[in-house]
Structure 1
Amino acid sequence: MGSTRLMSHVNTVCDWVIRLLYLNFLWFFFTIVGLVIAGIFPATVALFSVLQESFQKGENVRVFKRFWNVYKREFRKANVLGIIIVMISIIFYTDWLFTNQVMGTLGMIAKGILLGSCFVYGITLLYVIPVYLHVNGKLFTTMKLAFLIGITYPQYTFFMLLSIVSIMLVSFLLPMAGYLFFISGIGSVLMYFSIHVIKKVEERQKITKPGKSRLIIHN
C-alpha cells in the first residue's frame, strides 16, 4: 500500500515536471510566433489557462489543444490588457523621472507616494491574469478585482513573492533549470495561490450576499 502511494506521488511529480517543461516551451514558441510584442500576453494568458485547468482537473488536460485554443481566442483582448499594463508602467516611470527633478521635502514625499503606488501596482499584477481568466476577460473588472484581492489577502501575496524569489534564486544558481522552467514555474505559483484566494472571495460573497450571482465567473 505504501509503495503504491509512493509511486503515485512520484508519477504525479514527473507529470508536473514534464508539463511545466512543455508549457515553458509553448510559451516561448508562441511568444515568438506573435513576434514577441504581440505574442507575449496571449501566450501568458494561454499558459495560465492550462495551469488553471491542471490544478482543477489534474491529469485530464490536453495541454497543446487548450493552449492553442486560448491563444487564438484571447489574442486581441490579451493584447489590450497588455497595452493597459504597459501604459500604466510607462506612466509610473515617467512620474519617477519627474520626481527626480523635484528637490527637498516635496520631492521626498512625492517619491514616497510614487514608490508606495508602484508597490501596490506590482501586487496587483501578481493577480491580473488569474483574475482575467476567472472573469472571462472583462478588463476593468480584472484590474479592479486584482487590486482588491492583492491588498485584502497580504498573506497570500507574501507567499507568492517568497516563492517567486525562490524560483529566481534557483534559476540564478542553476541557469539550465531557469531556462527550462522559469516562466511556467512562476506561472504555476501565481495560479496556485490565486485559485485559493479566489475561492475565499467567492465563499465570502456567498456569506455576505446569499442568493446573488457569484462575483467570479469561471470559464
Structure 2
Amino acid sequence: MAQKELDDTILFKITDWIAKLAYVNLLWVGFTIMGGVVLGLFPATVALFFITRKWVLGEKPVSLVKSFFQAFREDFWKANAIGYSAGALGVFLFTDVFLASTLDNAFGFWLTFFFSVLFILFLTMVVFLFPLFVHVKESFYHYFKFAFLIGLSSLHYLLFIITGSALAIALFAMVPAAAIFFAASVFAMIITLFSMKAFDRVENRKRGDGSLAS
C-alpha cells in the first residue's frame, strides 16, 4: 500500500510538471503572437523566466495566466530594449566573424579567432541575461555587465546548462512533436535552474567580500 501511494505521488508529480511545462509553453507562444511576434517575443520570454524562477524557488503562482500577463505587461518595453540590444550585438559580432573568415591570410585567421572569442563571450552573457533580468532590479547597462561577469565566474553552471540543453535537443530530435509543446519551457527551466545556483553563489561571495563589481 505504501509503495502504491509512493508510486502514485511520483506519477502525480511527473504528470503535474508535464502539464505545467506544456501550459506555460503555450502561454509563451500565445503572448508572443499577441505582441505581434516582433514586440511580443522578448516580453513573453521574460514572463516565461519569471514563472520558471518562481518554480525553482518553490513558489506557486496563484494563477499562471495572471502572473504571466503581469510580468509580460510590466517589463514590456524594457524587455524589448534589452532583447533587441542583445540581438543587435549578436548580429554585429556574428557578421564580423563571417567577414573576417573570408580573408584568406594570417590576418584573417587571427581576426576570425578574435571575433569568435568575443562571440562566445557574448553567448555566455546571453545565457544569464534573462534569468538575471527577472531576478534583480538593475539599470539597463548593469544587466549586461553582471550577466557577463556571472557567466565568466560560473563556467561549470554554464556547462551544466549546455549539457542539459543538449540532452533536451536530443530528446526533441527523437520526438519532434514534443518540441512544439515543451521546447521553450524546458530550455527556460534548465537555464533557470542552474542560473539560480550561479546567482546564489555570487550573492554568497558578495556578502563575503562586499560586492560583485562596482
Q: TM-score, normalised by structure 2?
A: 0.92
Quote how far apart the aligned CAs of 1:139 are. Answer: 2.1
Residues 138-191 of structure 1, C-alpha deviations (whole Å, 9 max, x = no match) = 321111111111111111100100111111111111011111100100000000
Residues 3-152 of structure 1 aligned to structure 2 (within 5 Å): 3-136=4-137, 138-152=139-153
Residue in 1 that maps onto 2:178: 177
> Are 2:124 and 2:151, in contact at CA under 8 Å, matched by a contact in 1?
yes
User: How far, CA to CA, are the matches of 1:84 and 1:60 in structure 2?
Assistant: 30
Residues 17, 138 of structure 1: alpha-carbon distance in 2 compared, 3 angstrom cutoff: farther
User: How far, CA to CA, are the matches of 1:120 and 1:50 in structure 2?
Assistant: 27
Quote how far apart the aligned CAs of 1:58 are. Answer: 4.2
Q: SS of the residue aligned with 1:57?
A: coil
Residues 82, 185 of structure 1: alpha-carbon distance in 2 compared, 3 angstrom cutoff: same
> Are 2:128 and 2:147, in contact at CA under 8 Å, matched by a contact in 1?
yes
Residue in 2 that maps onto 1:162: 163
Root mean square deviation of aligned Cα = 1.7
User: How far, CA to CA, are the matches of 1:60 and 1:32 in structure 2?
Assistant: 23
- Matching residue's letter, 2:105: G
- Matching residue's letter, 2:100: T
User: How far, CA to CA, are the matches of 1:44 and 1:75 in structure 2?
Assistant: 10
User: How far, CA to CA, are the matches of 1:48 and 1:140 in structure 2?
Assistant: 20
Residues 107, 26 of structure 1: alpha-carbon distance in 2 compared, 3 angstrom cutoff: same
- Matching residue's letter, 1:107: G
How many residues are aligned here? 211
Quote how far apart the aligned CAs of 1:16 are. Answer: 1.2
Residues 51-109 of structure 1, C-alpha deviations (whole Å, 9 max, x = no match) = 11112134454211110000011111000011211110121133124313433111100
Gaps of 5+ in 2: none
Q: SS of the residue aligned with 1:130?
A: helix
Gaps of 5+ in 1: none
Residues 44, 114 of structure 1: alpha-carbon distance in 2 compared, 3 angstrom cutoff: same
User: How far, CA to CA, are the matches of 1:94 and 1:198 in structure 2?
Assistant: 31
Residue in 2 that maps onto 1:187: 188
Residues 79, 51 of structure 1: alpha-carbon distance in 2 compared, 3 angstrom cutoff: same
- Matching residue's letter, 1:174: V
User: How far, CA to CA, are the matches of 2:107 and 2:61 in structure 1?
Assistant: 57
Residue in 1 that maps onto 2:207: 206
Residues 61, 11 of structure 1: alpha-carbon distance in 2 compared, 3 angstrom cutoff: farther
Identical positions, percent: 25
Residues 7-66 of structure 1, C-alpha deviations (whole Å, 9 max, x = no match) = 333322222111100011111111111111110000000001011111213445421111
